[in-house]
Amino acid sequence: MEKYAKQFINGSWVDGSSDKQLENVNPYSQESFFTMSSASEEDLDKAYEGAKDAFASWKDTPPSEKRNLLLKVAGVMQNRKEEIIDLLIREAGSSEIKANIEFGAALGIVQESASFPYRSKGQIMDSDFPGKENRVYRSPKGVIGVIGPWNFPFHLSMRSVAPAIVAGNTVVLKPASDTIVTAGTLIADIFKEAGAPDGVLNVVAGRGSEIGDAFVTHPVPKVISFTGSTEVGSHIASLAGEHIKETALELGGNNPFVVLEDADIDQAVEAAIFGKFLHQGQICMSANRVLVHENIHEEFVDKFKKRAANLKTGDPSEEGVIIGPLIKKEEVDRIKEDINESVKAGAKLELGGEAEGSVFQPTILTNVTQDMPTAAKEMFGPVASIITFKDEEEALQLSNGTPYGLSGAVHSKDIHRATEFAKKMETGMVHVNDQPVNDEAHASFGGEKHSGLGRFGGEWALDKFTTVKWISVQSEKREYPF
């Protein structure tokens, strides 16, 4: 892993010039993989200037070459799949199942993005003025700054990097400090092996306190793409607004998993298990609040508890482990405090509530109300808060009663009823008779309210990373009123 302990700037691997250090640690064993020099503002400037210089030629590269680069990236990923899976397990604390899901999602993004050069189209329109033709040209925006997260580091960084580059932009990527490799330098190495021209992708790993604000306010990038917490996203949006920069923000969620009284309970339980406990619940789309009709509450809780109790916990590199480590040991104390406060307020601890090292047991709370910490906050841990409701109206009020609006799910045997309920949910995504952790490369992905701005995926990503210009052509002499 030592080979990834460098910055990647303008096609070269270089040491960071800051006197501060970044340590890369296995979240389960606490083994230190490496310590590297952090990037400074000087390094950041070199990366942005390199990307700016590369954009001058990359934007005019024929579409076939852009497509072929992404196809080669996909090929390199497939050839190095075992390495990528291993790094996701060791650096991000991913189980083997989660790492494979993440690899598949990232590969899907790259393959979908490879089609973008031939889907980026302008338009010719009629004019109200005689002898005039209106043309709308589409072009890449320029340099894109991407800030990658630690929870699905490889996929969620690639989700911006791949479409931005193939649309004709160049990129500077800042990975999360907890996943320097899988959110950053690994991706740079893959693009380099695939033959990406120097400067098209740059990676600067540095402390947010040192280069975080400068990454956004630097004059070169036209768009800042960020995936992470709502608090940090709000700060980025504020900085970007001051500098009239566009943002793509995928932020936090407090996602409702709604089980109506006519739901298939067994199916709902299986969906809830996956949607809550995949990657220890450290997913922005995870089912945070499980809303269950009071008539089926007892049966649902009994089945849900039995399934959760049988989930294997421990070292994510071991076969069959579902619940691995939280990204940092400090997260254990945060989650315990929220559980304890909720229990004091009247919640009942049905399962779990304890941790061994950084591995937190799958935890279920009942008798929860919307204002208790485990329901009011995004837990980002393996904690399910079950809330009962008496009718559909109350379920909808509970669903929408948070500042967030990322994803959600609703279960009912009546598909039309569930769909109508979903349409009233104030979220960017809802999944009927499924769970909220869904991401398909060709579909729109993003949230409402405090869960973000803009959409990723398919044509929506293409729109985000390109701009349009209206050029009117007056081919006949125009008569003016004065």
Q: Which helix (H) or strand (E) holds 170?
A: strand 170-174
Q: For 206-222, what is the mean pLDDT?
A: 95
- Residue spans of the domains in the chain: they are 2-251+451-470, 255-432
Query: Is 250 a catalytic site residue?
Result: yes
- pLDDT at position 61: 97
Mean pLDDT of the chain: 97
The CATH H-level (homologous superfamily) assignment of domain 2-251+451-470 is Aldehyde Dehydrogenase; Chain A, domain 1 (3.40.605.10)
**Kind of pairing, strands 143-147 and 132-140?**
unpaired
The token duo for 435 is 């769970």
Per-residue pLDDT tens over the stretch 356-365: 999 999 999 9
**pLDDT band for position 197 (50/70/90)?**
very high
Options 250, 350, 378, 392, the catalytic residue: 250
User: What CA–CA distance (Å, rounded) separates 408 from 400?
Assistant: 10
Which tens digit of pLDDT belongs to each residue from 298-313? 999 999 999 999 999 9
Mean pLDDT confidence for 259-288: 98
**For residue 466, how far is the Cα from the chain centroid?**
20
Question: What is the structure's pLDDT at 435?
Answer: 98
What pLDDT score does 246 carry? 96
DSSP assignment of 267-310 equals HHHHHHHHHHHGGGG-STTSEEEEEEETTTHHHHHHHHHHHHHT
pLDDT at site 28: 97
Amino acid at 44: L
How many CA atoms within 13 Å lie on the side-chain side of 47? 33
Of 177, 150, 145, give the one whose Cα is nearest residue 160.
Answer: 145
Three-state DSSP state, 238? helix
> Band of the pLDDT at 3, cuts 50, 70, 90?
confident
Mean pLDDT of 257-278: 98
pLDDT in tens, 108-129: 999 999 999 999 999 999 999 9
Query: pTM of the prediction?
Result: 0.96
pLDDT at residue 1, rounded to an integer: 80
pLDDT at 209: 87
The more confidently predicted of residues 209 and 112 is: 112
Contact (CB, 8 A) for 92 and 437: no
Counting residues of the chain whose pLDDT is more than 70, the rounded percentage is 100
What is the mean predicted confidence (pLDDT) over 367-391? Answer: 98
Residues 6+ away with beta carbon under 8 Å from 274: 435, 437
Instruction: Report the CATH architecture of 255-432.
Output: 3-Layer(aba) Sandwich (3.40)
Q: What is the mean pLDDT of residues 252-265?
A: 98
pLDDT tens figures, 403-441 = 999 999 999 999 999 999 999 999 999 999 999 999 999
Asked whether residue 2 carries a pLDDT value surpassing 90, the answer given is no
